[in-house]
Structure 1
Amino acid sequence: MTQKIRIKTGTVEETLLLPLWGRAYETQKSNPRLVDQNAVEIIQQIDYDFSDIEKTQSMSQHGWVARSLHTDKMAHGFIEQHPEATIVNIGCGLDTTFSRIDNGKIMFYELDLPDVIALRQNFYEDSDRHKSIASSFLDTQWFKDIEVRDGLLFLAGGVLCYFNENQIKTFFIQVADYFESCDFYFDSLSPMGMKFAKKQVLKKGGMGISMDGGWGLKPVNALEKWDKRIQVINSIPMSKGMKQGIPFKAKLASTIADMLGVCAMVHMRISHC
């Protein structure tokens, strides 16, 4: 019997399990909105008690699936316009986006802290078009490792909210200074959404990690005030178009959250034009 991979509890590693479990759980439903067999296979290789997550995260699970569906749609659209696109998955964790969107031509980078990349290597091997970079995204030395042949897209799912506004602003400006043009696609939480995430997700999910500070964004168009090269292309409420097939209680809660602007998917463009 193959020995399972142990996860360090009370660390960032543990939080990586939340969206991974969400996708795996969805995949095993009789009528899944998202099929992610890779997530199922990874879950089966991990030595971890998921019972607390399963008991407490039914609402958040819909959000994790919605985020993946939005991201897949965005990435597919970008790849249609840029068949040899370069995509950088910031704070990749145990994400499996590449396996769902690869067209056989794109260049895809998985970027995360060294411990996370080491954990990923239990499940993935790098290839010529799918490479890992072990670094904080704030340490921009990794910029020089990115090969851009066509368009450049940065994905950042469930990561930017862990940092403060000044860190994110500085990072976006550094990207604008280094790269000629690029697109960003990420989820944003309002200040209200930040409070919900800390209480309902990390604490109730049995996560031992604390989440002090963080970046709450509202309104989304405030990003354009940071630098004239930043343009918000659109902002979509997280649950928009994602309510079909979910329980009534979840539909009601997600509708209210969308009305209050709790969480959104943001498409931002950096351009020198």
Structure 2
Amino acid sequence: MKYKIEKNTVQETLILPLYSRKLCTELYPNLYRDETAVHLIDQIDYDFSEAEKNSRSLMQRFGALEVAMRQNDLAFEVRAYLKPHPCAAVVNLGCGLDNTGRACDNGRCKIYNLDFPDVIALRQQLLPAGKRERNIPCDLKDPAWFDRIDATGGAVFFASGVFYYFLTEQVKALVQGMADAFPGGVLVFDAANRTAVKMIAKTWLRTAKIKDVGAYFAVSDASKEIGEWDGRLQVSSRGYMLGYSDLKDPSVSGFFRFLAKVGDNGMKMQIVKIGFEDRQ
């Protein structure tokens, strides 16, 4: 039986990124594979005709490449943390229907997927928690979820496309709270500069009738700007289009590589990595 998704619902907002990851898998098979997305799309009863029509456009195909690189980069950082911390908690902040935690599973880590209750309700139906995995309904801005994470073996947190919707002060409060609660842990996420965030925010800010775009989280020089928040943070960043991969693949045109360079350098599209100082 297929799971029906209605238009203009919270569930619909989860389906479109899922479709984008399926599109990435089809367009850039050497660079990215998300079998979960391919499998889930087949289980869903939803009118994808508009998404399929849009997928032929140049910018939609570049957008799919952006999604692919972002997921690959975050997975790279999760796996890098798991090498010296094989029993760590792997925590997907604002998980939606993303399965990166399971894709990085080393057979020993603990996987946590966090999102709003209505999102987790849908996830439980389409992606029920597996072995050593928990789907936790929560508001990321409320630190009550900290106590649900077993970080005795370390903890690596990642957020994909999440913090653009947070005020700078909310990200700062979350990061400082995590530094208190998870010494020795690491947080990785994607970010961009003010120009890029204004472009990202154009549609949803209009809907939400929010005027002060400047209050929303954006960063150009991560190590300087975020490093000033707290002396316990070790902050670094890499471009998220070309910082982890040269994109030299037959599926990627020279024009797309040029756009990737503009994204990394002009828009400061980056993966930010924050290490929380250990107490030892």
TM-score by length of structure 1 reads 0.88
Rate the CA distance shift 1:66–1:145 in 2: closer, same or farther, 3 A: same
Say whether the 8 Å CA contact 2:232–2:276 is kept in structure 1: yes
For residues 1-273 of structure 1, the aligned pairs below 5 Å read 2-9=1-8, 11=10, 13-29=11-27, 31-50=29-48, 51-52=50-51, 53-54=54-55, 55=57, 57-199=60-202, 212=210, 213=213, 214-221=216-223, 222-232=225-235, 234-240=236-242, 241-245=245-249, 246-272=252-278
State the shift of 1:210 in Å.
5.1
Q: Tell me the SS of whatever aligns to 1:217.
A: coil
CA distance in 2, matches of 1:58, 1:29: 8
Which structure 1 residue ranges, 5 or more long, are not aligned?
A: none
State the shift of 1:176 in Å.
1.8
Say whether the 8 Å CA contact 1:198–1:211 is kept in structure 2: no
State the shift of 1:211 in Å.
8.5
User: How many aligned residue pairs are there?
Assistant: 265
Say whether the 8 Å CA contact 2:89–2:151 is kept in structure 1: yes
Say whether the 8 Å CA contact 2:62–2:256 is kept in structure 1: yes
Q: Tell me the SS of whatever aligns to 2:83.
A: helix
Rate the CA distance shift 1:227–1:8 in 2: closer, same or farther, 3 A: farther
Deviations 1:249-270 (A, max 9, x none): 2212111122214310011111
State the shift of 1:83 in Å.
0.9
Amino acid at match of 1:38: T
CA distance in 1, matches of 2:209, 2:269: 17
Amino acid at match of 2:13: T
CA distance in 2, matches of 1:7, 1:101: 31
Deviations 1:148-172 (A, max 9, x none): 2312111111101111000111111
State the shift of 1:87 in Å.
1.1
CA distance in 2, matches of 1:163, 1:211: 15
Deviations 1:94-135 (A, max 9, x none): 111023111111101000000100111121222441101100
Amino acid at match of 1:97: T
Q: Tell me the SS of whatever aligns to 2:237.
A: strand
Q: CA RMSD in A?
A: 2.3
CA distance in 2, matches of 1:14, 1:3: 15
Q: Tell me the SS of whatever aligns to 1:68.
A: helix
CA distance in 2, matches of 1:256, 1:157: 20
State the shift of 1:272 in Å.
4.6
CA distance in 2, matches of 1:184, 1:31: 28
User: Greater RCO between the two (CA within 8 Å, min separation 6)?
Assistant: 1
State the shift of 1:173 in Å.
1.2
State the shift of 1:8 in Å.
4.8
Which structure 2 residue ranges, 5 or more long, are not aligned?
A: none
- Moved >4 Å (runs of 4+): 208-212
Rate the CA distance shift 1:10–1:125 in 2: closer, same or farther, 3 A: closer
CA distance in 2, matches of 1:211, 1:69: 34
